[in-house]
Chains A and B, each alone.
Chain A
């Protein structure tokens, strides 16, 4: 591969890692506050559909992004209601959200547009333009969210409290901070970020929605989150790595690597999942989730 090819590979790797990064940071916010979120996939899918539907109806990309965020936020608050207010099982709620999003986007897509559930192809006005340095602004927003997340979580009172809610909610409660409020703030941020990720997929990277277009990206983001051990900068590097693997898998189709022979594309595709399982098993390093993740908080007394 020559230098130009390598550059193209890096570029498509960056593009493919953007939705992963949004979803991964969404999961990071939620789980650092103690709310496990396996509904990243569903929220992104709902956002991708809503963004494309709104953009095609209005011909306006901003309206699309706003609709994407709104759809994702609705699911995030539903998850919050089940997990925080009703103290329901967070995993079960996440599964429900994934199923609801998969079903609703397919049902509504077919009913509204026919065409096998696709939204009509977007005109230029409906797509997020490649304005800044030849890339959609959402790419830069995703990258910018990393230092922002790191700063807020590490250096602000809000961030400290949010992390504390995920590690030891009783202590935070004793200090007079609302555990419920902090957790709702966290799932709201997660909702907005998943909304941006979904909107990126359907109206920046592509020109419309196709059924099930997230195709597991929400789960790869979950894997990246664990791989990054719930830390923002590590999340960036992991998502870039996984995006690059994805880009490489597309290019490796049928290519012969010297010394190894033909590498099956599937081996590259499976790598993020396999790496995550190995990491979780603690065979190298250790991935320890926030202490209170997945446990509903019950006030004493």
Chain B
């Protein structure tokens, strides 16, 4: 592949998909009877306009980095994990059980332990679909869909019957102890004498960036990552290379589930400070859009996450300024991106190839 062709594949195809997604979303806004340009201005100002809004954008982006990486790792192994929602839900249970019981420990111990518990639970919940795919041939897509629903039903049971405080009617756990809360960015910086506007952005942001770097090392620089990519591209060839597709399938799913668990760290330990229902709020599904748009590459995923973080935060401001446009618009845009950058990928490749003759080599 030439440099131009690679560039077209990595940059132009997703860029064209996103541009088309925004165009369509603009049409929806127009159809509602609002001005898309005004909406865009509110969205950008509402996501990047001040220190506070930027903080919220980064907070949401953190969620998307985790779920995007989760989808991507499985994707490299040729697996489509649509169970990030369920895995993150179980990770939330793990985080809560650890956080609520590690109160006496100092933060330097309690936080990493609770975060590890989150990732452990998330990974364990992905182990089963991975194992069933590898050993029993049950399709991971269907199993993870079923596991999402089982997780959400299980969570209702746990929150209503086990973790709910007897004094409260709300299905939520008691608050996590201070020592198990991931510190807010503005608090940490205040200790260093720097003042920034308070927001939900917390140190999980750096965990997400570290996870992105670790995934890059894993996928492109390690023996295991090589095995994952070989299995993803040609499981038969993998067998001849002495790689066990079964083992790699299970490993990739566990890693994928553990990464989804990061969502629970940011959302629950970093912001909500208690276990609540439905905290995954569709981040797992938008993570599919993030991974497809980022071409399953950690750098692309970080950029795509920033975009979706902006949409999420800007969308909230937009819903406030123009009550007729709700934040569900982000789901619409996510859906169009999944359609264009995922299912209609070939069409966009073709269109870009036509517009840019040098890039046509990539289709050979």
Contact = CB atoms under 8 A, between A and B. Distances in A.
Contacts of B330: 103
Contacts of A281: 132, 136, 138
Given A91-B80, A277-B143, A107 B325 contact: yes
Nearest to B341: A92
Tell me if A's interface is mostly helix, strand, loop or mixed: helix
Contact of B335 (A90, A91, A96, A216): A96
B156 interface: yes
Nearest to A264: B157
A82 B343 contact: yes
Contacts of A89: 80, 342-343, 345
Given A102-B328, A281-B136, A107 B344 contact: no
Contacts of B329: 103, 107
Nearest to A79: B343
Interface in B308-331: 323-326, 328-331
Given A226-B142, A266-B156, A99 B335 contact: yes
Interface string A83-107: 1001111111101111111111011
Interface in B124-168: 132, 136-139, 141-143, 145-147, 149-150, 153-154, 156-157, 161
B344 A276 contact: no
Range for the number of chain B residues in contact with chain A:
35 or more
Interface stretch (A168-176, A178-186, A267-275): A267-275
A226 B137 CA distance: 14
A162 interface: no
A92 B333 CA distance: 15
Nearest to B292: A92
B196 interface: no
B147 A277 contact: yes
Residue among B82, B138, B325 with max Cβ neighbours from chain A (10 Å): B138
Contact of A88 (B138, B325, B342): B342
B285 A99 contact: yes
A110 interface: yes
Interface in B325-364: 325-326, 328-336, 338-339, 342-347
Contacts of A106: 326, 328, 331
B138 A282 contact: yes
Interface of A: 38, 78, 82-83, 86-93, 95-104, 106-108, 110-111, 117, 216, 219, 222-223, 226, 264, 266-267, 269-270, 273-274, 276-277, 280-283, 289
Given A99-B338, A107-B28, 10 more contacts: A82-B339, A95-B285, A96-B335, A102-B335, A103-B334, A107-B325, A107-B326, A110-B328, A270-B153, A273-B150
Nearest 4 A/B pairs, CB to CB:
A99-B335, A103-B331, A103-B332, A100-B335
